[in-house]
Amino acid sequence: MPWTRDSNTIARIALGLAAFAPLAGCKASAPGKSETRTITFAKHHIFVGNKNQKNPLPNNAQTLVDGKEAFTHYCVACHGLDGQNTGVPFADRMAPPVPSLASPEVQQYTDGQLKWILDNGIWPSGMPASKGTLSDEELWSIVVFIRHLPPAGSLGEPEMYTH
């Protein structure tokens, strides 16, 4: 079944995606509109699990501070300090591109799904699996930060790209 992510399934997905590759010539270029629509639907409704799990951490200022701290140490290289790609030179030159975490595409996931993405990553994008690299507490606090992102550009650019 397509929504169990075992190696057979992955092979099938790979073949499906490989069908697009000759059209792109393997270069990292932006996907087309219908490809984006299809994959977005598939991610939200089929591939990304854990829909119903609720965030065990309280939705308060302390958790937000913790989430921002963890995000800043670990996620900023690709997502920018504000989660909206500010200052990240290659965000739109990856295939698939790095989405703005403030976009409806990302915000429409449930908290549990966001946690799933943080735990497992998204293949074949550059989003890595972080289960075990960050603790469950840190990952859940990042989910809270994603729900309360600062205004785009308000935190400046990641230092690694500006000094």
Question: Where along the sequence are the contacts to another protein (CB under 8 A)?
Answer: 70, 73-74, 130-139
In the complex with another protein, the residue whose CB is nearer, 9 or 50, is 50
**If you write DSSP's letter for every residue of 23-36 in order, what string do you get?**
HHTT---PPPHHHH
1 C-beta neighbours (distance < 10 Å), count = 6
Question: Smallest distance from the beta carbon of 72 to another protein, in angstroms?
Answer: 10
Question: Smallest distance from the beta carbon of 132 to another protein, in angstroms?
Answer: 5
In the complex with another protein, the residue whose CB is nearer, 69 or 105, is 69
In the complex with another protein, the residue whose CB is nearer, 137 or 157, is 137
Please calculate the CA angle 97-103-34 and round it to the nearest 5 degrees: 55
Say whether 46 sits in a helix, a strand or coil: helix
Question: Smallest distance from the beta carbon of 73 to another protein, in angstroms?
Answer: 5
State the burial class of residue 75 (Cβ atoms within 10 Å of its Cβ: 0-12, 13-18, 19+).
buried
Question: Smallest distance from the beta carbon of 129 to another protein, in angstroms?
Answer: 11
In the complex with another protein, the residue whose CB is nearer, 54 or 73, is 73
